[in-house]
Amino acid sequence: GGAAEPPPKLVLDLERLAHVPSEKAGPLQRYTATIQSQRGDYNGKVLSIRQDDLRTLAVIYDQSPSVLTEQLISWGVLGADARRAVQTEDS
Ligand code: C2E
Ligand code: C2E
Ligand code: C2E
């Protein structure tokens, strides 16, 4: 704990996400489509999501938030600074 930097924004690259095979990315593609629909935010190339949503997605993917974050970084869907979002909580 202690006073820390704010967590990095989780900004998903929707163009990259669209190119990940759907047998891997399908749940995330459906999740982001739902958020876009709820916000009425259809035209973005990126989508900012809640820190809590990463936790929810980790449950959906049956992985820890840090393993899922590494996967999203390897797909190019999240930037490397997203690692800090899970580090600040795991440490
Ligand atoms: P809600 O959670 O009751 O939020 C109502 C409104 O408060 C949102 O309308 C938005 O204008 C604002 N709001 C809430 N949290 C934030 C935030 O962290 N940042 C910003 N900039 N605004 C916030 P909006 O955008 O039309 O969303 C409607 C509903 O759609 C939300 O109701 C929520 O149920 C769902 N939703 C939208 N985006 C997300 C998301 O990224 N994650 C999740 N889990 N739900 C979302
Ligand atoms: P930022 O958060 O660094 O976002 C930069 C640009 O990325 C945004 O420019 C927008 O083109 C895109 N972007 C980021 N997240 C989303 C998203 O969830 N959906 C879509 N469609 N595009 C997204 P934009 O819209 O001109 O906003 C410039 C700056 O204004 C943002 O920089 C942020 O600092 C502020 N801003 C805009 N909307 C919100 C908001 O709902 N909440 C807060 N707190 N700041 C906002
Ligand atoms: P943001 O709009 O810059 O908000 C940054 C953080 O401020 C949020 O992180 C959340 O902790 C807090 N916050 C902002 N607005 C609200 C609110 O209305 N209610 C509550 N309870 N907290 C609020 P968080 O949740 O990790 O969200 C990260 C980013 O995801 C937000 O940055 C925004 O760009 C996007 N986002 C999240 N939820 C919504 C939503 O419901 N609608 C829209 N349009 N954008 C959202």
Mean pLDDT of 22-28: 95
* Owning domain of residue 32: 10-90
The per-residue pLDDT for range 46-89, each reduced to its tens digit, is 999 999 999 999 999 999 999 999 999 999 999 999 999 887 55
CA atoms within 13 A on the CB side of 1: 0
Give the pLDDT of residue 3.
63
When divided into structural domains, the chain yields a total of 1
Distance 26 CA to ligand 2 centre (A): 25
Distance 50 CA to ligand 1 centre (A): 9
Give the pLDDT of residue 91.
43
The CATH number of residue 42's host domain is: 1.10.10.1930
Does residue 5 form part of some domain?
no
Provide φ and ψ at 49, rounded to 5°: -120, 165
The answer to whether 71 touches 17, Cβ cutoff 8 Å, is no
- Within its chain, how far is the Cα of 39 from the centroid? 17
Does residue 28 form part of some domain?
yes
Question: What three-state secondary structure class fits 61?
Answer: helix
Does residue 4 form part of some domain?
no
Distance 11 CA to ligand 2 centre (A): 10
Does residue 1 form part of some domain?
no
- What span, in angstroms and rounded, lies between the C-alpha atoms of 76 and 88? 21
Does residue 3 form part of some domain?
no
Q: Please tell me if the CB atom of residue 39 comes closer than 6 angstroms to any atom of ligand 1.
A: yes
Mean pLDDT of 4-27: 93
- Is residue 7 over pLDDT 70? yes
Does residue 2 form part of some domain?
no
38 Cβ neighbours under 8 A, 6+ residues apart = none
Give the pLDDT of residue 1.
54
